[in-house]
A and B are shown apart, each in its own frame.
Chain A
Amino acid sequence: MRRVAVIGTGHSKFCFNSEKTQVEMLAEVALDAINEANITPKDVQAVNVGNVLGDFEEGQGMVQSFFANDIGCFNVAASRFEGACASGSMAVRDAVMWVASGYYDIMLVGGVEKATAMGTPLATRTFAMFGDSRYEFPAGFTFPAVFALLAHLYSNKYGIPLPALKEQMAAVSVQSHEYAVKNPNAQIHKAISKEDVLKSFMVSTPIQLQDACPFSDGAAAVVIASEETAKKLVKKPVYFAGIGQASSGKLSSQQKYLPRIRARELASQQSYSMAGLTPKDMDLCELHDCFSIAAMIAAEGLGFFDYGTSGLAWEKGQTRIGGKIPINISGGLKAKGHPIGATGVSQVYEVTRQLRGDMAEQGRQVDGAKYGIIDTLGGDGVLVSMILSTM
């Protein structure tokens, strides 16, 4: 297989109540990515798009074709990926495979969502569609509830009393908000304290509002190309060193592993193995912190901390710039925002720009970073992992 690189990136500001359509949001970030890659839309051979609920948000299915046409990628193959919150990452991983295989040389990958157009009740209903609709939705399944179940399980399994775990969870949110203040694309530009988290609205015990990411609108895009083409077009291609994807069934079927997410461990092992690297080699990480407890479970599943200890790592600052492994220096899903179809593409954007050294002007550069890993979780059943590299 050929090596594949990111050669262009685009990212909208994530927000509530976007005034733009999904096609418009995608078109803007795509042209930014295309311009950065020093190509034109005519050079794009195929388009992949992550989009989850466009049907409910705008009454718009098949957004990928209208988007491709809108930006002048006339008549190319355009495909939509749906794996709940991992849709964008699936779209990227799939494009990497097509370019690596030699079938295409240049592809455009976008991700978009306009979740706030649904309003919170319908958004909660449609997000719950990514749990098992027959056997788990009837009990009142929502994603806050899923991670609440896992939080209580985590507390018991690792012997961390709930009040201590709540403090650890709060530390995750506090850090994300702090970095989001420095990210102009972030949805929430407001620092919060541990006390703010612990006094926020109780959503689903023990998860409070400030343990949870918001509903979001936004888009991100990347242009990817084969190594040979990338080197001709840009000065600093960022390479995909490893990719992985795995799936799992309904939450109850994962009983042997919970609160660990087995599919994440398998997906990241695929990435590490393909890259010939280990967690110790990573210089930064963007992981799926849809809830604070989800971030802790992810950091352990990716191999950065022992099971049951990642909350302490957050409290000690080991997840900040200068710490053992800088995590979610973008502000994460929690504060950067989580437009679900776009999130994985946004993570690739973030790590690419960190590896190119572009974040210094925002005051959140991980100096000298060579390897970064992204982790995206869709529903309770799609996990994607990708390792990016400067070399």
Chain B
Amino acid sequence: MEYKLTFKNYNQALKRDKLMGLKCKDCGAFTCPPMMVCGECASTNHEIVQLSGKGKVVTFTTSFIASEGRENEVPYTIVMVEMDEGPWIMGNLVSMDPKKVAMDIVGKTVQLGNRVYPADKYSNGDLARPAFSLLE
């Protein structure tokens, strides 16, 4: 059985600021990032859809350490965002100074863009990541 929305296709779309996911035709839930089955009801009866790219910050952290090869990124802010369609996705907050991000960021509305992690010897190619900006 074919994997409907592969990482390759998700990654290519994200590089154009498009967030792709799946909408379940059985239960109506959205799954993003994509999986083989609906993350809610495990059905394979779903279709590929583009999500709005808008959501609210659920939680965050500003990191002062990084993996090998990513030291030049610190400090950087990771956010977990609940997209308007429901799914949570992990990305970065790029529209403000990471050192100034505090608890009041939670609940703020953000819009998705992207930045590309340029690959290292373990990553099997480059990897786009959601890069969010505050909307207000």
Contact = CB atoms under 8 A, between A and B. Distances in A.
Given A125-B67, A142-B63, A205-B62, A155 B103 contact: yes
Given A121-B71, A139-B129, A144 B106 contact: no
Interface in B71-90: 71, 73, 76, 78, 80, 82, 87-90
B65 A144 contact: yes
Contacts of B11: 134
Contact of A152 (B65, B90, B103, B117): B103
Contacts of A155: 103
A69 B56 CA distance: 56
B92 interface: yes
A204 B58 CA distance: 17
B3 interface: no
B68 A149 contact: no
B91 interface: yes
A363 interface: no
Given A152-B61, A205-B62, A255 B88 contact: yes
B103 to A, nearest CB: 6
Interface residues of B, number: 41
A252 B61 contact: no
Given A125-B69, A134-B127, A204 B88 contact: no
Nearest to A157: B59
Contact of A156 (B59, B67, B88, B128): B59
Given A140-B73, A141-B78, A250-B33, A202 B129 contact: no
B61 A125 contact: no
Nearest to A148: B61
Contact of A129 (B71, B78, B90, B122): B122
Contacts of B127: 134, 137-138
Contact of B92 (A128, A139, A203, A253): A139
Nearest to B99: A205
A133 B90 contact: no
Contacts of B103: 152, 155-156, 162
Nearest to B11: A134
Contacts of B117: 137-138
Interface in B92-129: 92, 101, 103, 106, 117, 120, 122-123, 127-129
A198 interface: no
A152 B107 CA distance: 12
B65 A203 contact: yes
A149 B59 contact: yes
B62 A137 contact: no
Interface residues of A, number: 41
Contacts of A137: 117, 123, 127
B90 A136 contact: yes
A49 B45 CA distance: 41
A122 interface: yes
Given A121-B71, A136-B90, A145 B61 contact: yes
A135 interface: yes
A205 B78 CA distance: 10
A251 interface: yes
Contact of A134 (B7, B69, B88): B7
A357 B78 CA distance: 46
B94 to A, nearest CB: 11
B42 to A, nearest CB: 12
A7 B63 CA distance: 44
B78 A139 contact: yes
B75 to A, nearest CB: 9
Contacts of A203: 63-65
A124 B78 contact: no
A205 B75 CA distance: 10
Interface of B: 7, 11, 33, 35, 39, 58-71, 73, 76, 78, 80, 82, 87-92, 101, 103, 106, 117, 120, 122-123, 127-130
List the 8 shortest-distance A-B pairs measured between CB atoms, nearest first: A148-B61, A138-B129, A121-B68, A125-B67, A138-B127, A135-B33, A255-B88, A125-B68
